[in-house]
Chain A
Amino acid sequence: QITLTQQAESLWVSPGEKVSITCRASQSLLYTDGKHYLSWYQQRPGQTTKALIYHASIRTDGVPTRFIGSGSGTEFTLSIEDVQPEDIALYYCLQTLKKPYTFGAGTKLELK
């Protein structure tokens, strides 16, 4: 199965700063249709899990433009520019190229 590694368990950030969360896959997530099957999710306490990014770089409807997905092949990044207090949450990457679908271990964004 494909392994996703999110190296940072926690990241500390101050409001207004930029932060980047990385996700490395054990094999390329590029499919023959030219799309990368890597997506990002946000978990905030008391709220349902929210889809942020799909196909590595496309924002889901309603997601603020400060959330930016990038990367290709096996290396992917979720960047949050001008971090807001409501962005403090757990962030997960997910690959849906091959079953079993697999998640990264998660990165907790915390306030300095």
Chain B
Amino acid sequence: EVQLVETGGSLVQPGKSLKLTCATSGFTFSNAWMHWVRQSPEKQLEWVAQIKAKSNNYATYYAESVKGRFTISRDDSKSSVYLQMNSLKEEDTAIYYCTWGITTPVDYWGQGVMVTVSS
């Protein structure tokens, strides 16, 4: 059974940093292309970032709204993917989901973790 479990969400002040972790199981993580997707309080979904596998040189891609501030990374030995979020803004407030898929990039979703950016 595929499982994706996000942790690390918190209330943080604008300008601060936070790192999210997604622990996975149930599939061959080392071959997987992983994604982060977020959902605003208004329920709008936004694709945030992707990291490909070692065979693809761990290539990364970002939404324009987070480029230069967020960094996606992975540890294949731990079957985990991370999202380092720096210079956080109030508009980054959202539920963050880790996703993976075969037929689409987001066949499987975690339960999500809440990030609130507020002073």
Contacts and interface: CB of A to CB of B under 8 A. Distances in A.
Contact of A103 (B46, B64, B101, B111): B46
A48 B95 CA distance: 12
B45 interface: yes
* Interface bin, chain B: 20 to 34
B104 interface: yes
B45 A106 contact: yes
B103 A58 contact: yes
Main SS at interface, chain B: loop
Interface residues of A, number: 21
B103 A54 contact: yes
Contacts of A60: 103, 107
Given A48-B109, A48-B111, A49-B97, A103 B103 contact: no
A3 interface: no
Contact of B103 (A41, A55, A92, A100): A55
